[in-house]
Amino acid sequence: MGSIKALTLAGVVVLGAIAPAFAADLLPPPPMVEPPVVAPDISGWYLRGDVGVGVNEIGGFRSTLQPTNMLGGYAPATFNAYNELGDSAIIGAGVGYQINNWFRADVTGEYRSSAPYRSGVGYTAFCAAAYCLDTYSSNVASAVFLANGYVDLGTWYGVTPYIGAGIGLAHNHMGALTDIGVGTGYAADRSSDNFAWAAMAGLAFSVTPNLKLDLGYRYLDMGSVRSNPIVCGYVTSCYFETQSYRQTAHDFRLGFRYILGDYGMGPVVAANAPIFGGAPGPLVRKY
């Protein structure tokens, strides 16, 4: 009997010693793993409209006279005294597509209101004074059509900075050109179509999920503007002068973009997210 009691007591002691070791092998349940959540890949069509002001500039001004007049007289040497072009109001519209979260593209058309053109050309031949000066006045209006691409540089607190570039066509119209000097001359209106390009940067503000306010700067090159020959009061002594220059502008625009469709959806579960169901069972370490 004594031996049986001793064996029993020994077994209880052994079980008491190994029970904590088994308990250590049973790990607590793992925490629930949330399915991955990602921002939606934004894409879709949008409409845009813009208004602004264009600060126009003249470059490469030239005043060209025919070598001789109808009487055989040679054209006098001339020099440019001044030239200037006023500012234009801008109104435009377009349609575009948001390709992904960082790139979008659109096509735009705009009208640039008539800007006053002024220039002065001096000469010394046939002149009783030290020099004579002819003054010219006209009005120049343009229509511009561009295909544009933009890179959105991320969004912070609803504000998205961007950069962009565009290429297209500028239709420039010079009208009512007059020349006042010793006599008076005039030129018929002339329109020309030129290659145009633009570089731009700005900030877009989220007003609503579908509406963006756009504040932007753009440098625009509209190509050359050229007049028709100026017809003088005394045609036989006229050199049928033409004037030309390159027109560029610094544009400051305020616009909006309205995204069509359900743009305002929230974050979504990733397509490859695992499906979880029920509480997981205990994880047992095996050797």
> When comparing pLDDT for 11 and 53, which is higher?
53
Sign of CA dihedral 88, 92, 96, 98: positive
> Over 90: is that where the pLDDT of 205 sits?
yes
Cβ pair 170, 223 in contact under 8 A: yes
Q: Mean pLDDT throughout 267-281?
A: 48
Cβ pair 156, 149 in contact under 8 A: no
> Over 50: is that where the pLDDT of 9 sits?
no
SS3 sequence of 76-143: CCEEEEEEEECCEEEEEEEEEEECCCCEEEEEEEEEEEEEEEEEEEEECCCCCCCCEEEEEEEEEEEE
Q: What is the pLDDT of residues 139-164, one digit of tens each?
A: 999 999 999 999 999 999 999 999 99
pTM of the model: 0.76
Q: Mean pLDDT throughout 165-187?
A: 94
Give the number of other Cβ atoms within 10 Å of residue 249's Cβ. Answer: 24
CA distance 132 to 92: 43
CA distance 90 to 144: 10
pLDDT of 28:
62
CA distance 191 to 273: 61
CATH architecture of 37-263: Beta Barrel (2.40)
Percentage helix, strand, coil, to 5, in the chain? Answer: 10, 60, 30
Q: What is the pLDDT of residues 88-131, one digit of tens each?
A: 999 999 999 999 989 999 999 999 999 999 999 998 887 877 88
Place of tokens 């600060």: 55
Cβ pair 191, 171 in contact under 8 A: yes
Alpha carbon distances (Å) from 242 to 66, 110, 120, 179, 236: 9, 28, 13, 11, 17
